[in-house]
A and B are shown apart, each in its own frame.
Chain A
Amino acid sequence: MNRRNFLKWGWGSAGLVALVSAMGVSMAAVLRFLMPSVFYEPPQAFKIGTPGDFPFGPPTFLVDEKVFVFHDREKGFSVASAVCTHLGCTVNHFSSDQKFHCPCHGSVFAADGTVQHGPAPRALDWFEVTEARDGQLRVDKNKTVPPTYRLMV
């Protein structure tokens, strides 16, 4: 390779690298721009009220938070996700068979959230529930817990 060719190829490949990296950085910047920095969505951790607000027996469904709050006389509180693990439809809890039924594709979840029937790939999530300082119950959707988790108040 002579000097002329070396310079030609050298400048050429340097230019190509510069062009490709500039385009790569621009694409990454565009993608980052499209990914919101702030989500104006309901918070993942929230207070749901005092223990007395929740009756024993059938679970209370919280519409905005999409969770079921179970209050058992002996065992205490537990909170289950109402979002089907299949395609995100809101499941219904039937008191008749103590199971969760998804209306979209017929998935059925047992009382502890495990899949019994249908295409759902995994069990329903259970969320950590704690007692806040002001005596209210606090649910954190970022923290999943085993279905045996209970909060005694």
Chain B
Amino acid sequence: MNLIREIYQSIVRRDPLSTDKGKSELVFLNVWLHIHPAKVKREHMKFTHTFYLGFITFFLFVILVTTGIALMCYYRPYPPAAYQDMKDLQFVVFMGPFLRAMHRWSAHAMVVCVFLHMCRVFYTGSYKKPRQFNWVVGVVLLLLTLGLSFTGYLLPWDQLAYWAITVGTNIGSYAPLVGGQLRELLLGGHTVGEAALLRFYVLHVAVLPVAVLLLTAVHLWRVRKDGGLSRPLWKLQTVKKEQLVTIGAPQETAPLLVQPAVATKTYGLMEVVTGKPIFETIAPEEEEDAVFSFPYAFVREALALMATVTAIMTISILFHAPLEELANPAKTPNPAKAPWYFLGLQELVSHSALLGGVVAPALMVLALLAIPYIDRNPSRQLTTRKWALGLFTAFVVVNLVLIVVGTFFRGPGWALVPPWVHVVGGAE
């Protein structure tokens, strides 16, 4: 009995969870949990503040990694074996269609959730000082997500994959000076072929996931180091200047208010570090709003995880991942479409390849990256950010409209065909 206790205590060193010290130690003595603060504010856990989109995106990534590793066991990255393996996954492998569907729908969902997460952060003004750089990291993660989705799109080696990647990589070749060589580098050849499939596979299973993992670590770390989640908008107006406590060097405008110690308080100020604080100043009454991460935050995260997994599983049972016939370089399907999140781009490209395919997206990415540095307005209140909100909303709406038009309103020969009109045969 003593041996068992000794083994248990060698693994779990914290105090019992019935005590506050135990609840704190659960978080900061655990390598996986210590990304959380020991205590979180109630307002930060409110669903309508963040919609848990960051967590959901991360959970989708976890689903993608696990299902992806499972799929790798049955996949050979060269044609035409790649396509045969898809057929095997479809008809022979136990739970193959289900795993493939989970992987595909999680990938689409991740693109959507990253985008929604970005919208949430923008509309709540959470990219503002001191969080500017974390926004930039987030934009790079969005690009990496698109890159992962795009490289994964080719792997089934069916008609859909082949022509989506042919069109997609040709858009890139319009970049001035380096475009053609970039495409050659990416494809390892002049057309989408054996070399391209292998390169996309390497990017998809090794290079990009590792990049996402490393940057996610930076992203989460910066959330903590930049002062935790931003305060919900509805809390902003309640803070009065004279009630503020400044961490670090006190300023004249914000005198240091000292909280009287109470009997239940189990923590204290360990050290005073001088220097300018990067944190938003904290209102003293908020200490009472904080609760221990265990169990309040963890339960909510677990619920978000379960909801995500359940939703993806349900969708994957109902809808199978598409698989068309074997890739045929000689026969372009009509119409040939890129993956849906690039259809806005394809729509632009159908009007002008250079302007729509290179200039517009490059400007869009640069503008996204520069947002926290261009927007000098320190206020997060919606009423004082009319220009920023208008521009960003226009950006979102234009993108959505282009994607919807490209997805649903383009028929054979890229002609404008409403989705309720059925085209028989198409141009042949």
Contacts and interface: CB of A to CB of B under 8 A. Distances in A.
B193 interface: yes
Contact of B352 (A35, A41, A90, A119): A119
The contact size tier of chain A is 20 to 34
B330 A105 contact: no
A57 to B, nearest CB: 18
B391 interface: no
Contacts of B170: 86-88
Contact of B349 (A40, A87, A92): A87
Interface centre among A31, A101, A119 (most CB of B within 10 A): A119
A119 B191 contact: no
B413 interface: yes
Contacts of A104: 163, 167, 332, 335-336, 414
A87 B353 contact: yes
Contacts, number: 85
B353 A106 contact: no
A31 B332 contact: no
B185 A31 contact: yes
B329 A105 contact: no
Contacts of A35: 181, 184-185
Interface in B165-221: 166-167, 170-171, 181, 184-185, 188-191, 193-195
Interface string B224-256: 000000000000000000000000000000000
Interface centre among B195, B350, B415 (most CB of A within 10 A): B350
The contact size tier of chain B is 35 or more
Given A89-B336, A119-B350, A103 B185 contact: no
Q: Is the interface of A mostly helix, strand, loop or mixed?
A: loop
Given A89-B167, A103-B332, A103-B333, A41 B351 contact: no
Interface string A58-87: 000101101000000000000000000011
A70 B254 CA distance: 84
A93 B81 CA distance: 32
Contacts of B354: 121
Contacts of A34: 185, 188
Contacts of B31: none
Interface centre among B188, B332, B354, B412 (most CB of A within 10 A): B332
7 contacts: A35-B185, A41-B189, A61-B330, A86-B353, A87-B166, A87-B167, A88-B167
Interface of A: 31, 34-36, 39-41, 61, 63-64, 66, 86-90, 92, 101-106, 118-119, 121
